[in-house]
């Protein structure tokens, strides 16, 4: 739960207010059967995805800087209701920050969601707090209350008060995020209610990656090992990811068992490597994987690289448009070949 | 006399091979005879091909291999035609099989003889730039891979006899004469390049650094004499300045040939580009009169050469060449188009030599009794360029006139198409389906692997410790037999393999020898004959990729051989028997477009008793040809057209629908369903068919420039043609000015419309004939009268028609003055001039109907190029079909072309279609994609990645949206599987498990 | 040829990395064959797996190879435009571009995983590149980083 | 029984003495998480902590454990057991709830028809030195459990420590514990005031636990409601990520896989943590899955802990450590779930049915 004061607070209040209004009307006018949004969490630094079908419950919806879950995750596979033995898909309104909107658009491109049954309740997100980082930095002190005032995050405990600079303690992917609200997609404009932005990815220098990229392979490997060693192979990252909708994940497959499920380092690395491969050109940088990880592994470190690769190689940013094919779905004669070996 | 269902194809270049494959696939017995010792012709000599820069060997060798082992094609090399008797439908041909002194059946092409042979002979394949031994194969990838002893050089030392473990060398072997009985003959002897004679003004033969273009082609080739490095013959230096001299022996009345060789401008440009690619510091310059880039996407290619590669084109005439005796550089003296004489120094000069008729043209014409034209090319029918003067004998490729590869391939198929028309009732009478034992059921049984390891004489045995490797193979899990043979591919070993399969009841076989690319089919056949499914086979390449490349490291080579065999065994353990899906074929055809192409196709098909639906969007048949009265060569188009239309309308098997529109086409090769609406009343018709031929044609460009439409004295070429053919108004005209390239070769239509030059010259000549007083002036950018059309260009000039060139950047200007028209044009040589005229004729280009083609393309799932013409499956080797199987292409909708070419293409499309229609069932390849729908989540990536439209998303009752693979359309490339995240798609024969086993089966 | 021989003689003493090479059937595999037919010598470091097309090659193959202890991986297909399957190599190229970048990011030496084009006529090129790759591989040494320990 | 005092500055000595006989496990910081790890340097030990991220069960029941290795020669297969079973372990600073969880693990691994030798051996060789919680988390609810859960519960350890600020009050609970303390002759005796302080801290800690979860005959409550729509509501925002299970000190589910080294014809059989929250956990080879939706899976977790477990072992399958509440990414709070269930009985809450 976040108590907000000052500018960001104002912002969120307005967002929350208009979002509730939209949600209320959608339900009232029977435009949707169901609203998926965020509700207040039972403990500090949390929020809880909430499913609402009654107008009166709309008031439980909240918006703050801890609403980290990517709600698109809940509509794959589509939510349905059996009406006389017919599986009828429900019309769903989804409270969508930029990345959620992008997920939905991309998932539609991959035939996973049918936008006819979706209303994107667009809201302009001002960043998700990196709770894992704050928890870690507080060490073993329990936070009882977290609030955001002006440009600071204030964490209160039984016997302490600590403040963090808001912009520094956002998820890495949020820091660089240029698409705060769902991108406006002309062909599907009717889908978006509430806020939206012109679908443009904006400029990104990926400066946060340069340090790692300048390292030697040995150092890079060390960093990665350090990053991933806590991994318990619980696959929370996968389950939280809207793009990981495979019926059977590669790591669960047998005949042949390509990659081990053990916590042996090369197994862990291979899992995250292949998973990265699989979300390349699809990842919308929502950071769900990171915030879901019980061990607090910051996977946005990897997803940021994915963003960079597809942006720089194929000038693609996922979830912005229906008309552009994702990079892995198409090919060009004149793609860059700088990575290939030649005689000279 | 009774017709026979067999065909003789003379010459096994790309043309001959294509014709043989078409006919073989259509169920005819084919005798393919080749005068040299291996097939492939000139194309196999090329490094790259224009305008795509495809690697020639990459694209041609699979075709050659296929030809070499096609069960309906008998290939005879090193033969001579002795005598031809009989008539269309039944010829008797006597053939001389000249001895190779090597037993073709025994020779394994291992090449040991060649390596040991002490005498050197000139390597003809490498244009004498390299040498090889008297015992030789034409080129490394030669088909058939058989060595031959050249007795002119052979000193009879007998070394080869000694070293040949296969006992294939037979000095005493005699020539042999055989007689074959065929229903039709196709002549595809190709061409011979023009060799500048003694004392030619280019110093070829005198100066070391003057080479012909075909020699240069070999120099460029990675497998050529300098292995891809560009060096000049005199001193092996890198030539920085290279001059290409055009029209050597072409368009040359004095010491060459008067006609245009059609391909030089393009192949020179290609050579210049490739040369630049190989060595960037090199500066190519091309000296030419016109640039004749009249083909599909050719102009774009020239443009790229200039823009991207900085190739320099100089419009000029060469006076002569001198050599600098010190540096052996060459001084080129030329006159440029402004009339200035200039000299320039070059390190290397390439003569773009023309195409001459084959040296034995006269001999062939006598033997086969077919007429030649004045240049000794075969004379063909004015409307059917593959029909020789003798019924039942057809010709294709450069023998009919100089042409490039796609046109040769098209003509080859066209000739095959005509053969189909002639012999359709004999189809399948002479081919033999060989009877095979029922397949042994092996599914679920533990693998029992037999490994056969080949010594290949000393080719493997000499470097790899075969006994040790065999012992090792025996120790591998599931291997119940490890055996070694001197030549595993030899006939006797095949019997041994069959016996062993029975004896040890093997259910998997691996052979460790040479490359599967050439030998897999042989062994697969063998195990199939022993009752094993042909896919229960795996090969380890321990020769080409092991012993031959590690000749100095026997231990390492042996170790590697073990690894490769272990990997093969591991993979073999996972192989499952595969079956080839069979699909019935509806022997009916949908032809879209009622122009000449469409009608010719329909007529041919109907003649072969295939029911044909011919649909035309307009209200009458005839298409573009209705505006054309004669061809440049004098053919009466209107007469031809009306006869054709009558035939179509009177044929019961052809259903003609005019004012027709396709509503929907569904299905795939062999089984299409189409619904159309047609006629005034918009009646609906539905029908099934097995193939589609797209012949939707193209439109005439509607000009807006040069005041067209503002003044009725400014008309289109077609309107002018009508005028001179139907009225005699021309007699009143004092002067007619024709402007070329209207709506062609500009930014809007960046391609050449190909026929405008010929049309203009045709009508200009006709004008002069009607009224010699009329002054005719043609304003042009390049005159592109390729091939024999060049003669009419000369004729026109002799008839006093003026040709004035203008530059693209300085187009003529047209003014309407009270009583006459004024044209101001600037010519590089004579400068600005103004012409008064009382008629302006605009030679307008051909444009594709973007909207309609787009729509049709979507419906058929076939692509268009940037200019909205249809894009064929492969620019070089599959010019009349689409990547989507069962859909073919003919006529103007492919690209601008002449009536004769359209007719050829139509017959070609028919021939290709016959390879499908002639079968009751088509068989899919076994190694195709298969899908596990329980894993598929229907993301659609595979659908996008598939180049053959073999995958579509379907709604499964239990698993929702999932991909479904049409295994008939699938080519098994695996692009789908490579990207599939949930591994729902796997490629049979190359399954993930097999590859996994190979990866994990390495040696520590 | 003699030159190559000497070069190889020199190399024999050196460590020979184990490299798995995935070659497309129509161009690169044919190119490798041509190298053999022309007796162009190159170090005995590669073990070839024939695949129909570079488009067939799933990233699994490459990553698994490294985990399984191969010192390096080579993937070779037809030059753009030459693909026997029209665009398989182009589809593959995108996949490999991403994979290569990721491997580098994860700290696997870029030398270990090599992508190349080789046509059916480029036996020479094939050999040259294998030599080059072998040299590079020798520089980075055995693959113990990503190899799964037993 | 005399209580001892362990001064904090003596920890090093304490460690050195014991680490000679035991693999000395203690809470330490790894990538910012508190985890129990084998200590190699006493200054790695963290004393001021709430509880570890991953429960110490992973010491006796590791997330990945080789059960045995095997060699294949020809048709012969020889099995080589893992030989580290007589290793001795000491877990320093284990919290009472986690210590109690070891009983639950034993119920599963070491009772009934099928017993797990490896676990039994390990457990036999493991000494627990517990440490009372002076500052329980808000999410802790051990006191709500019927077994007498308490932040200072001592019953389940060998030695119990109470943090008195600069020192620990050390009390031996089991024989083994006593033996150890006796060995450490250098320990000073505790004063009465120390003991008194400990008692007071214990009370204070108990009061600090505000969360009260009504678990009274929850098993009975659950029985009739197997098909209750409530389960849908409970599971609707669950991601099925299994974090709750992976971090639960009482979850014992595992998967068994073989890893093969094809070339050397050898392999090993490995046990890995698994969870009923995963779809494939119950997927049959046939493709049929009795718990095909997250509704069944979430229900199973609750029923297992609060219905089946009590039925099988006569105690609740939960220790009230609150880890699942802390780490659930969607804040699907166990306390709330239990609350809803309890209210079911009174038919108070109306359940909204969304999807079917």
Q: Which domains does chain C have, with CATH numbers?
A: 2-139 (3.40.50)
pLDDT beyond 90 at D193: yes
pLDDT in tens, D319-338: 999 999 999 999 999 999 99
Q: Give domain status of residue B997, yes or no.
A: no
**Among candidates B991, B993, B860, B996, which has minimal Cα distance to B930?**
B991
Burial track B99-138 (b if 16+ CB lie within 10 A, e otherwise): bbbbbbebbbbbbbbbeebeeebbbebbbebeebbbbbbb
User: Is B343 found in the same domain as B306?
Assistant: yes
Termini Cα distance of chain C: 42
User: How large is the average pLDDT for residues C77-99?
Assistant: 93
Query: For A223, phi and psi rounded to 5 degrees?
Result: -55, -45
Give the model's confidence band at A2: pLDDT under 50 very low, under 70 low, under 90 confident, else very high: very low
User: Is B126 found in the same domain as B17?
Assistant: no
**ipTM of the predicted assembly exceeds 0.90:** yes
Report the chain C residue with the minimal C-alpha distance to residue A336: C97
Query: What is the biggest distance separating any 2 CA atoms in chain D, rounded to whole angstroms?
Result: 71
**Residue D325 near chain A (CB below 8 Å):** yes
pLDDT for position D263: 73
pLDDT beyond 50 at C1: no
Q: Is D8 exposed, middle or buried (0-12, 13-18, 19+ CB in 10 A)?
A: middle
- Residues 175-234 (A) with a CB less than 8 A from some CB of B: none
The answer to whether the Cβ–Cβ distance between D287 and B1002 falls below 8 Å is no
User: Is B824 found in the same domain as B710?
Assistant: yes
- Angle (CA) B723 B728 B733, round 5°: 85
pLDDT greater at residue C2 or residue B360? B360
CATH number at B952 reads 3.30.70.20
- If phi > 0 it is left, if psi is from -120 to 50 it is alpha, else beta; for residue B334 that is beta
**Among candidates B476, B477, B485, B579, which has minimal Cα distance to B536?**
B579
Is the separation of the CB atoms in B396 and B408 below 8 Å? yes
Q: Which two tokens stand for residue B242?
A: 């290279």
Burial track B332-367 (b if 16+ CB lie within 10 A, e otherwise): bebeeeeeeeeeeebbbbbbbbbbbbbeebeebbeb
Give the model's confidence band at A195: pLDDT under 50 very low, under 70 low, under 90 confident, else very high: low
C-alpha dihedral (B900, B407, B906, B679), degrees to nearest 10: -80
User: Is B841 found in the same domain as B722?
Assistant: yes
- For β-strands B588-592 and B691-694, DSSP reports them as parallel
Give how far A198 is from chain B: nearest CA, Å. 26
CA distances from D62 to B573, D66, D320 (A): 36, 10, 21
pLDDT for position B198: 87
**Residue A258 near chain B (CB below 8 Å):** yes
pLDDT for position C4: 42
Is the separation of the CB atoms in B718 and B271 below 8 Å? no
Chain D hits for A41, Cβ within 8 Å: 331
The C-alpha atoms of residue D117 and residue D104 are separated, in whole angstroms, by 16
> SS3 helix, strand, coil % of chain B, rounded to 5?
30, 25, 45
User: Is B896 found in the same domain as B951?
Assistant: no
Chain A hits for D30, Cβ within 8 Å: 229-230
3-class secondary structure, C111: helix
**Residue A25 near chain C (CB below 8 Å):** no
**Among candidates B577, B725, B587, which has minimal Cα distance to B653?**
B587
Burial track B651-662 (b if 16+ CB lie within 10 A, e otherwise): bebbbbbbbbeb
**Rg, chain B, Cα only:** 31
Q: Tally C-beta pairs within 8 A across B and D.
A: 11
The C-alpha atoms of residue C70 and residue C63 are separated, in whole angstroms, by 10
- Angle of helix B516-529 versus helix B491-503 axis, rounded to 10: 50
Give how far A193 is from chain C: nearest CA, Å. 35
Give how far A190 is from chain D: nearest CA, Å. 24
CA distances from A133 to A129, A146, A151, A158, A284 (A): 9, 14, 17, 20, 21
Report the chain C residue with the minimal C-alpha distance to residue B570: C49
The answer to whether the Cβ–Cβ distance between B939 and A249 falls below 8 Å is no
CA distances from B622 to A108, B594, B701, B844, B874 (A): 47, 6, 18, 20, 28
Give residue B297's domain range. Answer: 196-355
Contacts of D165 (CB under 8 A, 6+ apart): none
Residues constituting chain B: 1004
pLDDT beyond 70 at D273: yes
The answer to whether the Cβ–Cβ distance between B552 and C41 falls below 8 Å is yes
The answer to whether the Cβ–Cβ distance between A328 and B941 falls below 8 Å is yes
Give the model's confidence band at A20: pLDDT under 50 very low, under 70 low, under 90 confident, else very high: very high
Chain D hits for A233, Cβ within 8 Å: 63, 272-273
- For β-strands B508-513 and B449-454, DSSP reports them as parallel
Is the separation of the CB atoms in B571 and B516 below 8 Å? no
Residues constituting chain A: 344
CA distances from B52 to A239, B876, C117 (A): 47, 9, 17
C-alpha dihedral (D286, D290, D295, D301), degrees to nearest 10: -110
Sequence ranges of the domains in chain A? 2-126+180-198, 207-325
In the block, which residue shows the tokens 């009732």?
B425
Q: Give domain status of residue B992, yes or no.
A: no
Query: For B758, phi and psi rounded to 5 degrees?
Result: -60, -45
H helices of B882-936, in order, are: 899-917
Is the separation of the CB atoms in B578 and B928 below 8 Å? no
User: How large is the average pLDDT for residues A336-343?
Assistant: 93
User: Is B255 found in the same domain as B169?
Assistant: no
pLDDT for position B296: 93
Give the model's confidence band at C2: pLDDT under 50 very low, under 70 low, under 90 confident, else very high: very low
Report the chain A residue with the minimal C-alpha distance to residue D66: A262
pLDDT for position A213: 96
The answer to whether the Cβ–Cβ distance between B960 and A245 falls below 8 Å is no
In the block, which residue shows the tokens 């590089």?
B828
- Residues 972-1001 (B) with a CB less than 8 A from some CB of A: 979, 981-983, 992-993, 996-997
The Cβ of residue B729 has, within 10 Å, a number of other Cβ atoms equal to 11
pLDDT greater at residue B116 or residue D291? D291
- Of B540, B574, B608, the one marking the end of a domain is B574
**Residue A329 near chain D (CB below 8 Å):** no
Q: Which of A248, A258, A328 sits opposite B982 (nearest CB)?
A: A248
pLDDT beyond 80 at D351: no
The C-alpha atoms of residue A145 and residue A153 are separated, in whole angstroms, by 11
**Residue A278 near chain B (CB below 8 Å):** yes
Is the separation of the CB atoms in B899 and B892 below 8 Å? no
CATH number at B741 reads 3.50.50.60
In the block, which residue shows the tokens 């309906």?
B72
User: Is B808 found in the same domain as B690?
Assistant: no
Give how far C75 is from chain B: nearest CA, Å. 13
Termini Cα distance of chain A: 60
- In B45-175, the DSSP E strands lie at 48-49, 54-55, 73-77, 79-87, 90-97, 120-122, 131-133, 135-136, 148-149
CA distances from A71 to A27, A333, B869 (A): 18, 37, 46
User: Is B624 found in the same domain as B562?
Assistant: no
**Residue B944 near chain A (CB below 8 Å):** yes
Give how far B937 is from chain A: nearest CA, Å. 6
Chain C hits for B52, Cβ within 8 Å: 81
Q: Which of B935, B982, B993 sits opposite A256 (nearest CB)?
A: B993
Looking at residue A240, the DSSP 8-state letter turns out to be H
User: Is B414 found in the same domain as B489?
Assistant: no
Q: Which of B934, B997, B1003 sits opposite D287 (nearest CB)?
A: B934
Query: For D270, phi and psi rounded to 5 degrees?
Result: -120, 140
Query: For B485, phi and psi rounded to 5 degrees?
Result: -130, 155
Give the model's confidence band at A200: pLDDT under 50 very low, under 70 low, under 90 confident, else very high: low
pLDDT for position C5: 42
The C-alpha atoms of residue B350 and residue A288 are separated, in whole angstroms, by 65
Contacts of B482 (CB under 8 A, 6+ apart): B450, B451, B453, B470, B471, B473, B474
The C-alpha atoms of residue B364 and residue B653 are separated, in whole angstroms, by 38
pLDDT in tens, A77-102: 899 888 888 888 999 999 999 999 99
Neighbours of chain D (3+ CB pairs under 8 A): A, B
- In the predicted model, residues of chain B with pLDDT beneath 70 are 121-125, 128-129, 1002-1004
**Rg, chain D, Cα only:** 22
The answer to whether the Cβ–Cβ distance between A111 and B992 falls below 8 Å is no
pLDDT in tens, A238-296: 999 999 999 999 999 988 999 999 999 999 999 999 999 999 999 999 999 999 999 99
């Amino acid at each position: 739960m976040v108590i907000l004061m000052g500018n960001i607070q104002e912002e969120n209040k307005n967002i929350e207010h208009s979002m509730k209004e939209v949600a209320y009307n959608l339900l009232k006018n029977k435009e949707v059967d169901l609203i998926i949004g965020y509700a207040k969490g039972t403990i500090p630094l949390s929020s809880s995805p909430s499913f609402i079908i009654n107008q009166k419950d709309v008031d439980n919806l909240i918006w703050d800087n801890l609403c980290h879950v990517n709600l698109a995750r809940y509509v794959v596979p589509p939510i349905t209701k059996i009406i006389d033995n017919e599986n009828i898909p429900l019309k769903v309104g989804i409270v969508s920050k930029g990345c959620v909107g992008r997920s939905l658009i991309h998932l539609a491109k991959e035939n996973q969601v049918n936008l006819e049954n979706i209303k994107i309740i667009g809201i302009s997100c001002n960043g998700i707090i990196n709770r894992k980082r704050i928890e870690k930095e507080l060490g073993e002190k329990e936070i009882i209350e977290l609030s955001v005032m002006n440009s600071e995050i204030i964490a209160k405990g039984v016997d302490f008060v600590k403040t963090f600079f808001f912009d520094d303690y956002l998820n890495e992917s949020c820091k660089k995020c240029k698409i705060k609200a769902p991108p406006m997609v002309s062909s599907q404009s009717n889908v978006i209610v509430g806020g939206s932005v012109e679908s443009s990815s904006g400029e990104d220098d990926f400066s946060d990656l340069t340090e790692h990229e300048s390292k030697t392979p040995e150092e890079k490997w060390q960093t990665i090992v350090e990053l991933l060693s806590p991994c318990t192979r619980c696959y929370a990252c996968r389950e939280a990811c809207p793009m990981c909708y495979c019926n059977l994940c590669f790591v669960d497959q047998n005949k042949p068992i390509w990659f081990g499920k053990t916590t042996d380092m090369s197994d862990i690395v291979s899992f995250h490597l292949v998973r990265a491969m699989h979300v390349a050109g699809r990842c919308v940088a929502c950071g769900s994987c990171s915030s879901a990880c019980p061990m607090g592994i910051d996977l946005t470190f990897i997803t940021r690289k994915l963003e960079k690769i597809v942006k720089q190689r194929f000038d693609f940013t996922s979830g912005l448009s229906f008309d552009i094919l994702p990079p892995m779905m198409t090919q060009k004669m004149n793609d860059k070949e700088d990575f290939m070996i030649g005689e000279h | 006399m009774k017709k026979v269902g067999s065909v003789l194809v003379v010459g096994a270049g790309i043309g001959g091979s294509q014709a043989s494959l078409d006919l073989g696939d259509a169920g005819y017995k084919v005798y393919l005879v080749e005068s040299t010792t291996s097939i492939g012709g000139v194309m196999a000599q090329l490094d790259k091909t224009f305008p795509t820069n495809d690697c020639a060997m990459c694209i041609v060798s699979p075709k050659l291999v296929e030809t070499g082992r096609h069960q309906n094609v008998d290939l005879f090399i090193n033969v001579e035609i002795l005598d031809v008797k009989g008539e269309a439908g039944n010829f008797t041909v006597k053939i001389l099989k000249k001895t190779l002194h090597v037993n073709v059946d025994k020779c394994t092409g291992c090449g040991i003889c060649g390596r040991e042979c002490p005498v050197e002979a000139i390597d003809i394949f490498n244009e004498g730039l390299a040498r090889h031994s008297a015992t030789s194969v034409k080129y490394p990838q030669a088909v058939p891979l058989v060595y031959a002893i050249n007795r002119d050089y052979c000193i009879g030392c007998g070394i080869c006899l000694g070293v040949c473990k296969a006992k294939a060398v037979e000095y005493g072997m005699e020539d042999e004469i055989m007689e074959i009985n065929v229903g039709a003959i196709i002549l595809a002897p190709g061409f011979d390049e023009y060799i500048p004679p003694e004392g030619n003004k280019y110093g070829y033969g005198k100066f070391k650094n003057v080479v012909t273009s075909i020699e240069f082609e070999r120099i460029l080739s990675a497998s050529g004499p300098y292995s891809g490095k560009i060096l000049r013959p005199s001193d092996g230096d890198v030539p920085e300045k290279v001059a290409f001299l055009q029209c050597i022996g072409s368009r040359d009345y004095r010491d060459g040939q008067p006609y245009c060789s059609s391909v030089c401008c393009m192949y020179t440009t290609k050579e210049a580009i490739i040369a630049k690619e190989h060595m960037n510091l090199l500066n190519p310059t091309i000296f030419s009169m016109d640039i004749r880039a009249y083909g599909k996407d050719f102009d774009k290619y020239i443009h790229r050469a200039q823009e991207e590669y900085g190739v320099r084109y100089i419009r000029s005439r060469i006076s002569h060449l001198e050599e600098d005796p010190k540096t052996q550089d060459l001084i080129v003296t030329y006159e440029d188009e402004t009339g200035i004489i200039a000299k320039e120094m070059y390190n290397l000069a390439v003569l773009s030599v023309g195409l001459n008729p084959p040296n034995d043209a006269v001999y062939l014409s006598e033997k086969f009794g077919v007429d030649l034209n004045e240049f000794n090319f075969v004379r063909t029918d004015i409307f059917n360029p593959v029909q020789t003067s003798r019924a039942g004998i057809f010709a294709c490729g450069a023998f009919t006139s100089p042409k490039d590869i796609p046109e040769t391939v098209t003509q080859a198929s066209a000739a095959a198409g005509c053969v189909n028309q002639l012999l359709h009732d004999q189809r399948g009478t002479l081919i033999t389906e060989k009877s095979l034992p029922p397949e042994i059921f092996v599914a679920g049984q533990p693998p029992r692997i037999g490994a056969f390891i080949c010594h290949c004489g000393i080719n493997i045995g000499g470097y790899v410790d075969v006994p040790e490797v065999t012992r090792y193979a025996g120790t591998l899990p599931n291997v119940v037999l490890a055996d070694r043979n001197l030549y595993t591919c030899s006939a006797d070993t095949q019997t041994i393999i069959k016996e062993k399969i029975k004896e040890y009841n093997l259910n998997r076989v691996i052979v460790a020898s040479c490359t599967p690319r050439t030998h897999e089919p042989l062994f697969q056949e063998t195990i199939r004959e022993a009752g094993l499914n042909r896919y229960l086979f795996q090969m380890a390449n321990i020769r080409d990729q092991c012993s031959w490349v590690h000749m100095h490291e026997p231990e390492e080579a042996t170790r590697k051989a073990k690894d490769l065999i272990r990997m093969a065994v591991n993979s073999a353990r996972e192989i499952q028997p595969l079956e080839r899906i069979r699909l019935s074929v509806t022997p009916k055809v949908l032809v879209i477009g009622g122009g000449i192409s469409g009608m010719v196709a329909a007529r041919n098909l109907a003649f072969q008793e295939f029911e044909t639906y011919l649909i035309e969007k307009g209200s009458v048949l005839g298409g573009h040809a209705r505006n054309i009265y004669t061809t440049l060569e004098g053919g009466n188009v209107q007469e031809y057209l009306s006869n054709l239309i009558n035939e179509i309308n009177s044929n019961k098997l052809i259903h003609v629908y005019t004012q027709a529109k396709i509503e929907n086409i569904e299905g795939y090769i062999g089984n299409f369903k189409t619904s159309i609406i047609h006629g005034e009343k918009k009646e609906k018709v539905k029908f099934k068919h097995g193939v589609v031929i797209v012949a939707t044609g193209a439109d005439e460009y509607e000009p807006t420039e040069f005041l067209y439409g503002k003044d009725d004295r400014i008309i289109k070429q077609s309107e002018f043609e009508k005028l001179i053919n139907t009225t005699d108004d021309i007699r009143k005209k004092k002067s007619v000015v024709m402007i070329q390239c209207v709506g062609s070769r500009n930014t809007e239509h960046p391609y050449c419309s190909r026929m405008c030059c010929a049309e203009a010259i045709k009508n200009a000549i006709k004008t002069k004939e009607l009224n010699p007083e009329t002054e005719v002036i043609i304003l042009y950018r390049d005159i592109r009268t390729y091939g024999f059309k060049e003669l009419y260009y000369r004729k026109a000039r002799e008839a006093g028609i003026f040709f004035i060139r203008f530059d693209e950047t300085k187009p003529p200007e047209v003014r309407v003055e009270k009583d006459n028209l004024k044209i101001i044009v600037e010519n590089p040589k004579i400068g600005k001039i103004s012409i008064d005229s009382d008629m302006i004729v605009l030679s307008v280009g051909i444009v594709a109907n973007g909207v309609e083609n787009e729509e049709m393309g979507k419906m058929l799932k076939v692509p268009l190029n940037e200019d909205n013409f249809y894009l064929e499956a492969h620019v070089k080797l599959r010019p009349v079909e689409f990547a989507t199987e069962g859909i073919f292409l003919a006529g103007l909708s492919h690209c601008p072309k002449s009536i004769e070419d359209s007719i050829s293409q139509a017959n070609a499309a028919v021939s290709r279609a016959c390879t499908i229609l002639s079968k009751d069932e088509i068989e899919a390849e076994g190694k195709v994609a298969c899908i596990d729908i329980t894993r598929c989540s229907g993301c659609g990536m595979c659908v996008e990645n598939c180049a053959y439209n073999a995958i579509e998303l379907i709604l499964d009752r239990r698993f929702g949206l999932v991909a479904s693979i049409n295994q008939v359309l699938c080519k098994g490339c695996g692009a789908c599987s490579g990207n599939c995240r949930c591994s729902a798609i796997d490629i049979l024969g190359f399954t993930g498990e097999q590859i996994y086993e190979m990866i994990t089966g390495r040696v520590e | 040829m003699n030159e190559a021989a000497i070069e190889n003689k020199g190399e024999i003493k050196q460590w020979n990395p184990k490299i798995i090479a995935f070659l497309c059937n129509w161009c690169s595999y044919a190119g490798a064959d041509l190298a053999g037919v022309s007796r162009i010598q190159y170090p005995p470091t590669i073990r070839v797996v024939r695949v129909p097309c570079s488009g067939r090659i799933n990233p699994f193959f490459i990553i698994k190879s490294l985990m399984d202890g191969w010192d390096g991986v080579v993937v070779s297909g037809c030059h753009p435009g030459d693909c026997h399957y029209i665009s398989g190599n182009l589809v593959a190229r995108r996949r490999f571009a991403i994979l290569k970048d990721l491997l580098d990011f994860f700290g696997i030496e870029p030398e270990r995983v090599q992508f190349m084009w080789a046509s059916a006529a480029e036996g020479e090129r094939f050999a040259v590149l294998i030599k080059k790759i072998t040299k590079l591989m020798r520089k980075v040494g055995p693959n113990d980083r990503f190899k799964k320990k037993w | 029984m005399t209580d001892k005092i362990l001064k904090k500055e003596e920890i090093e000595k304490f460690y050195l003495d014991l680490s000679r006989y035991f693999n000395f496990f203690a809470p330490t910081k790894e990538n910012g998480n508190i985890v129990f790890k084998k200590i190699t340097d006493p200054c790695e030990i963290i004393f001021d902590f709430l509880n570890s991220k991953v429960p110490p069960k992973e010491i006796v029941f590791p997330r990945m454990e080789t059960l045995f290795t095997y060699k294949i020669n020809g048709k012969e297969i020889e099995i080589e057991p893992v030989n580290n079973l007589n290793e001795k372990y000491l877990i320093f600073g284990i919290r009472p709830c986690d210590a109690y969880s070891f009983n639950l693990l034993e119920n599963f691994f070491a009772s009934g028809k099928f017993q797990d030798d490896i676990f039994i051996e390990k457990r036999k060789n493991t000494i627990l030195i517990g440490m009372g919680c002076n500052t329980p988390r808000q999410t802790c609810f051990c006191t709500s459990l019927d077994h007498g859960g308490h932040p200072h519960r001592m019953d389940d350890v060998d030695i119990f420590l109470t943090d008195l600020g600069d020192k620990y009050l050390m009390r031996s609970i089991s024989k083994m514990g006593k033996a150890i303390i006796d060995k450490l002759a250098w320990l000073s005796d505790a004063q009465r005031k120390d003991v008194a302080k400990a008692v007071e801290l214990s009370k204070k800690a108990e009061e600090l636990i505000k969360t009260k979860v009504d678990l009274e005959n929850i098993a009975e409550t659950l029985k009739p409601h197997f098909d209750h729509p409530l389960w849908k509501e409970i599971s609707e925002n669950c991601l099925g990520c299994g974090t709750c299970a992976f971090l639960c000190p009482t979850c014992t589910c595992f998967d068994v896989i073989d890893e093969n080294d094809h070339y050397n014809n050898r392999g090993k059989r490995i046990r890995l943590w698994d969870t009923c929250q995963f779809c494939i956990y119950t997927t049959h080879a046939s493709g049929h899955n009795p718990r095909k939706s997250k509704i069944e899976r979430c229900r199973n977790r609750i029923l297992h802990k609060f219905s089946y477990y009590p039925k099988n072992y006569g105690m609740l399958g939960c220790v009230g450590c609150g880890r699942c509440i802390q780490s659930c990414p969607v804040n699907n709070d166990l306390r709330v779930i239990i609350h809803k269930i309890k209210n079911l009985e009174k038919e108070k809450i109306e359940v909204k049915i969304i999807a079917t």
